[in-house]
């Protein structure tokens, strides 16, 4: 319990993952929260009305705030040599994308995705109820004061991780190893209906992914690549969907009827509380490069 860890959560101005407009950090030492931070960031990019509706951050609120390049040294200092945790892979990918955008090196630290932690600490509940942050916090009695505020989300994720540590008896370093092991030895991870060979060691294991719009690759190629990352490729947007990848050209058309039916269905489910990340194909491809660097 003496290990230090930092939880990070980010909010973005639009579906471009590099458009970070808020960073939330929660620092834990000796099994308790010792500090938190909420950093508003000027994304130097346009805001999508849909994103504003989710987190409430507007262009006026970030006017005059530092850019991500300016706050990165602060983030790196808080990270120090600690394990960094995030609730899902999106936050890590967004930080990497923002670093790339500003020509900066991403922080070199061990990252821990808390989705697999929840699936292993409470396998039965996660299998039936999912691992969405708000639902998991409610089930475990964790306060989530303002969902989609980066600081509040980071705090809730940190408290969930503390409960997982307590329930399992595993420390932070132990969990770094545990998340790579099957939930039930001999039975693999969770059952899925995909016909693709989903990697049990992929960094995005547990994500249900859907593709829409004009892509630079075929749907088959996109789904195969997603499966290598651990995602379960899905044919349509449903309660199993956690990630929607939109063709870049389609993503630029961010108004009503210009969006595909899958895009509109995802936004409808998000408005009802489901956690779905919407991102462009270029962001998806950028996630493939470091995660599949060893692939032929």
Could you tell me the residue ranges of all domains in the chain? Answer: 5-178, 208-291
At residue 69's C-alpha, the angle toward residues 63 and 70, to 5°, is: 65
**Quick one: pLDDT at residue 193?**
41
Architecture of domain 5-178: 2-Layer Sandwich (3.30)
Q: What is the rounded CA–CA span in Å between residue 286 and residue 217?
A: 14
Please list the pLDDT of the chain residue by residue as tens digits (296 residues). 458 999 999 999 998 999 999 999 999 998 999 999 999 999 999 999 989 999 999 999 999 999 999 999 999 999 998 999 999 889 998 999 999 999 999 888 899 999 999 989 998 888 888 888 999 999 999 999 899 999 999 999 999 999 999 999 899 999 998 887 766 543 333 334 446 778 777 777 778 899 988 888 888 888 888 888 888 898 889 888 989 999 887 766 655 557 788 888 998 898 888 888 888 888 888 877 655 444 43
Q: Kindly list the distances between the CA atom of residue 281 and the CA atoms of 112, 216, 227, 259, in Å, as whole numbers in the listed order.
A: 24, 8, 15, 15
At residue 246's C-alpha, the angle toward residues 241 and 250, to 5°, is: 145
Q: What is the rounded CA–CA span in Å between residue 92 and residue 224?
A: 22
Please name the residues in contact with 255: beta carbons below 8 A apart, sequence gap of 6 or more: none
**Quick one: pLDDT at residue 5?**
97
Q: Using an 8 Å Cβ cutoff, are 115 and 85 in contact?
A: no
Confirm whether 5-178 and 208-291 share one CATH topology: no
Q: Which of 60, 65, 64, 47 is nearest to 11 (CA)?
A: 47
Q: What is the rounded CA–CA span in Å between residue 23 and residue 56?
A: 14
**Quick one: pLDDT at residue 126?**
85
Count of Cβ atoms closer than 10 Å to residue 165 Cβ:
21
**Quick one: pLDDT at residue 130?**
82
Q: Kindly list the distances between the CA atom of residue 47 and the CA atoms of 9, 54, 71, 260, in Å, as whole numbers in the listed order.
A: 18, 12, 20, 20
Collapse the DSSP code of 183 into the 3-class scheme (helix H, G, I; strand E, B; otherwise coil) and give the result. coil
**Quick one: pLDDT at residue 260?**
83
Strands 5-12 vs 20-29: parallel, antiparallel or unpaired: antiparallel
Architecture of domain 208-291: 3-Layer(aba) Sandwich (3.40)
Q: What is the rounded CA–CA span in Å between residue 82 and residue 42?
A: 26
Q: Using an 8 Å Cβ cutoff, are 7 and 175 in contact?
A: no
Q: What is the pTM of this model?
A: 0.75
Q: Which two tokens stand for residue 135?
A: 């639902």
**Quick one: pLDDT at residue 255?**
54
**118-161 residue pLDDT tens:** 989 998 888 888 888 999 999 999 999 899 999 999 999 999 99
**Quick one: pLDDT at residue 253?**
61
């Amino acid at each position: 319990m003496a290990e230090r860890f930092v939880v990070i959560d980010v909010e973005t101005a639009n579906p471009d993952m590099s458009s970070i407009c808020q960073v939330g950090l929660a620092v834990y030492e000796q099994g308790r929260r010792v500090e938190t931070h909420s950093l508003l960031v000027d994304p130097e990019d346009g805001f999508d009305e849909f994103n504003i509706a989710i987190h409430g951050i507007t262009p006026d609120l970030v006017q005059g705030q530092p850019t991500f390049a300016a706050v990165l040294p602060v983030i790196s200092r808080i990270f120090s040599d600690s394990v960094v945790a995030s609730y899902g892979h999106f936050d890590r990918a967004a930080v990497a994308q923002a670093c790339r955008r500003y020509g900066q090196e991403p922080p070199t630290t061990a990252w821990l995705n808390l989705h697999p932690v929840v699936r292993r600490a409470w396998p039965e509940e996660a299998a039936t109820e999912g691992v969405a942050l708000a639902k998991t916090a409610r089930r475990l009695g964790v306060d989530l004061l303002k969902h989609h505020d980066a600081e509040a989300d980071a705090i809730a994720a940190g408290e969930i991780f503390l409960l997982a540590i307590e329930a399992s008896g595993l420390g932070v370093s132990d969990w770094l190893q545990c998340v790579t092991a099957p939930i039930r030895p001999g039975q693999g991870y969770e059952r899925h209906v995909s016909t693709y060979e989903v990697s049990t060691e992929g960094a995005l294991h547990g994500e249900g992914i859907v593709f829409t719009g004009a892509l630079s690759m075929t749907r088959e190629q996109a789904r195969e690549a997603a499966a290598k990352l651990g995602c379960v490729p899905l044919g349509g947007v449903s309660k199993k969907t956690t990630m929607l990848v939109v063709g870049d050209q389609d993503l630029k058309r961010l108004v009503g009827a210009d969006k595909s039916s899958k895009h509109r269905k995802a936004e409808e489910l998000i408005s009802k509380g489901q956690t779905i990340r919407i991102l462009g194909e270029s962001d998806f491809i950028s996630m493939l490069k470091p995660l599949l660097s060893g692939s032929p």
